[in-house]
Amino acid sequence: MRIDIGSIGELLPLTLVIAVTYMTPIKAVITGVQGYVPDFVLSNALLETMVDTSDEWIKSRTGIEERRILKEPGKATSDMASRAVLKLLEKTGTNADEVELLICATVTADMVFPDTANTICDKIGAKKAWGFDLNAACSGFLFALSTGASFIESGRYRKVVVVGADMMSSIIDYTDRTTCVIFGDGAGAVLLEPSTSGFGVIDSVFHGDGSGREYLHMEAGGSLHPASHETVDQRMHYVFQDGKPVFKAAIKGMTETVQEVLRRNNLTTEDVTWLVPHQANKRIIDGVGNMLGIPAERVMVNIQKYGNTTAATLPLCLWDYESRLNPGDHIILTAFGGGFTWGATLLRWGK
């Protein structure tokens, strides 16, 4: 057999293109983001009529001016999530039947079981999808985003929806001024699709410390303290928070994980286009931004409008700032929450 040297030369570039294409790892790109917040506005002025607090205290200690509350009878977390996801599908031109997996991060599931993700799939008509809930409190969306991205990176999934949704008003004691001024209801969702462009979810650093459960928890309703007259009388079905230790751990945890994920990817804070911190307290957000040396104009903040919506804060930020994001932007999401759970995720924005 005679080998024609000329044709090998012609084939070489093509072979290289094929090899490089197959070697470029698949990344999960956020191809759409959508939020939903209920219409009812619980203002600081209204809270002043409910508990011993003041607009001045709330604004100066937390940065919150108002929050949204789901007031519709018979509606729950899955309804807020479904509204966000339906709009997301419309916006991205996606048919509900194309969704393969839906992950819902929440601490306020509609019921103890089945999981809210399955209820959302039913409500949006995603007949071919399977799903599950992920409970990591305020870090829930961050952990779910990375989990959803892994399914895409495996090459076996092409359309994954990740939702962060919480109806915090269902577990807040509106006679406890230390918690009721902070939390609100809302949902945010992203669509993840594969890309080999180098954009997408790049890396994450996550941590957990179960001893932190002492400072932030809801004790009753699980297997430790099943619902009883006693648990209701003792108000154990509400969020408990010892704010100061959580405050300190949140600033340290978010700052350190952002630094770690940057270091691992040979980036500095100069390279960060947007920092997206969990919206628990404006003083925490400012603290993290200052420790990192990232100026306020590159830090996403919407806590004044929604308060702390737990698993929904990060996608609600991306939704609010979506029009200001550009392909290639380095975005760092970071969160700290009950558990304790915390971490940071680096992504490059783009389709």
Q: Report the nearest approach of ligand UT7 to the CB of residue 133 (Å).
A: 18
**Catalytic residue chosen out of the listed positions 278, 281, 317, 330:** 278
Q: Report the nearest approach of ligand UT7 to the CB of residue 138 (Å).
A: 4
Residue appearing with tokens 């997301």: 88
- Nearest CB to ligand UT7, comparing residues 105 and 161: 105
| Residue 225 CA: distances (Å) to CA of 20, 85, 222, 334 | 56, 34, 6, 32
- Nearest CB to ligand UT7, comparing residues 127 and 235: 235
- Nearest CB to ligand UT7, comparing residues 136 and 201: 136
Which of 195, 137, 114, 69 lies closest to 314 in space, CA to CA?
137
Known catalytic membership, residue 135: no
**Beta bridge pairs of residue 194:** 28
Q: Which residues bind ligand UT7 (CB under 6 A)?
A: 53, 57-58, 61-62, 138, 177-178, 181-182, 243-244, 246-247, 250, 280-281, 284, 308, 336-337
**Catalytic residue chosen out of the listed positions 104, 308, 317, 330:** 308
Give the DSSP H/E element, type plus range, for residue 41: strand 40-43
Q: Which phi and psi angles does 229 have, rounded to 5°? A: -55, -40
Residue nearest to ligand UT7 (CB): 243
Q: Report the nearest approach of ligand UT7 to the CB of residue 32 (Å).
A: 26
Which of 244, 269, 245, 239 lies closest to 334 in space, CA to CA?
269
Give the distance, in angstroms, between the CA of residue 343 and the centroid of all CA atoms in the same chain.
11
H helices, E strands: number in the chain: 12, 13
Q: Report the nearest approach of ligand UT7 to the CB of residue 313 (Å).
A: 8
Known catalytic membership, residue 121: no
- Radius of gyration of the chain from Cα atoms? 22
Instruction: Specify the amino acid at residue 330.
Output: H
The set of residues, in sequence order, having a beta carbon less than 8 Å from that of 8 and lying 6+ positions away, is none
Known catalytic membership, residue 225: no
Q: Report the nearest approach of ligand UT7 to the CB of residue 89 (Å).
A: 29
**Catalytic residue chosen out of the listed positions 121, 138, 180, 317:** 138
- Nearest CB to ligand UT7, comparing residues 57 and 240: 57
- Nearest CB to ligand UT7, comparing residues 84 and 284: 284
- Nearest CB to ligand UT7, comparing residues 77 and 281: 281
Q: Report the nearest approach of ligand UT7 to the CB of residue 244 (Å).
A: 5
253 in Cβ contact with 290 (< 8 Å)? no
User: CB 115: neighbour CB atoms within 10 A?
Assistant: 21
| The pair of three-digit structure tokens given for residue 200, joined into one six-digit string | 């997408």
Residue 135 CA to residue 138 CA, distance in Å, equals 9
Give the distance, in angstroms, between the CA of residue 45 and the centroid of all CA atoms in the same chain.
29
Residue 207 CA to residue 257 CA, distance in Å, equals 9
Active centre residues (catalytic): 138, 278, 308
